Amino acid sequence: MSIKLIQERLNSYNCKSELEEEHAIREITQEVALAALSRTDFFKHAIFQGGTCLRIFYGLNRFSEDLDFILKKPNPGFKLQPHLQSLSEEFEAYGYKIDITDRSKTDIAVRKAFIKDESIGKVLQFNHIGKKGYFRKIRIKIEIDTIPPEGSKMEVKYLDFPFVSSVTIQDKPSLFAGKVHALLCREYIKGRDWYDFLWYTSQRIKINYSYLASALNQQGTWKDQDIEVNLDWCMAELGKAIKSIAWKRMAEDVRRFVRVAEQPSLNLWSKELFLAQLGKLK
């Protein structure tokens, strides 16, 4: 019955390609992981954030690979392992045989673990996967920042798959602030970050400037500078970034994370498009 539940969920995606099926089964696995964590006290301590959060709970129309969290309060001694132990049993009930590797280091604020599975693909029926090769192992990274920036806001949302569960997540302005920090401070440019920027601006979501200022002061170009962060500052710095990017290359970077039907819109990516969207922050 549990395998049937996973199969029905996969069918509901109506995937049009092998890549879409790969993303779909990964996302289904992510939802099972979130539900499993909700059975523990994990969300008494942690807040879900990032692209996967945006997709699952707010409808972002691109696939995402990882599960990202921050603690509600700084706790350098936080251990991820006790919460990971509950995942194996939950996954087994749905036909998975997962391998969980905790890569956390006590001297690094961000704890990391990896969920891997290569068994679920052998028991599910796919329309595209396997036609040209073998099913690739599912691999999902879990990260949690044990010393997060201050000022994040949160809310409780509910999953109804694979069972009803509650998940504590960042609100939209805090998620947007985290994305702006990534856009300005990430060591490399990601097309997915700018795809998300289009989504935030199209939704007219405001930025949590307090959280952004704390993040900028903690890590990146403006570390320890205590700069004043406001709309004008964000408009200026994001404008500089937009004017410096090779947009056709960025569009190709994100192409594999969006559905086939949406890919023609990536041809519109340009400096002019993103500057127009930037204007919607006002």
pLDDT in tens, 146-171: 999 999 999 999 999 999 999 999 99
pLDDT for the residue numbered 84? 87
Phi, psi values for residue 228, rounded to 5°: -85, 120
Does residue 78 register a pLDDT over 90? yes
Residue 97 three-state SS: coil
For the residues 52-75, what does the mean pLDDT come to?
95
Q: What was the pLDDT predicted at 67?
A: 97
C-alpha dihedral (67, 115, 137, 11), degrees to nearest 10: -60
- Quote the CA–CA distance of 128 and 36 in Å, as a whole number: 29
Task: Find out whether the peptide bond into 264 is cis, omega within 30 degrees of 0.
Answer: no
Question: Whole-number mean pLDDT of the chain?
Answer: 93
Q: Among 17-21, 51-55, 58-62, 109-113, whose mean pLDDT is lowest?
A: 17-21
- Check residue 134 and give its pLDDT: 63
pLDDT greater than 80 at residue 54 = yes
If you search the block for the tokens 């251990």, which residue do you land on?
A: 79
| pLDDT at residue number 133 | 57
Predicted pLDDT at 131: 65
Model confidence pTM above 0.85: yes
The Cα 68–Cα 71 span in angstroms is 10
pLDDT reported for residue 173: 98
Q: What is the pLDDT of residues 210-236, one digit of tens each?
A: 999 999 999 999 999 999 999 999 999
Task: Give the DSSP letter of residue 74.
Answer: -
Per-residue model confidence (pLDDT) at position 248: 95
pLDDT in tens, 106-147: 889 999 999 999 888 888 888 888 766 567 789 999 999 999
Amino acid at 199: W
Pick the CATH number of 1-170 from 3.90.420.10, 3.90.1150.10, 3.10.450.620, 3.90.1560.10: 3.10.450.620
Q: What is the DSSP letter of 32?
A: H
Cβ burial of 221 (10 Å; 0-12, 13-18, 19+) is exposed
- What separation in angstroms does the CA of 146 have from each of 80, 143, 224, 225? 10, 10, 19, 22
The domain segmentation of the chain, as residue ranges, is 1-170, 172-282
Q: What pLDDT is attached to residue 214?
A: 98
Q: What is the DSSP code (8-state) at residue 111?
A: E
> Tokens in use for 262?
């949406």
Q: Helix (H, G, I), strand (E, B), or coil: what is residue 116?
A: strand
Q: What does the pLDDT read at residue 107?
A: 82
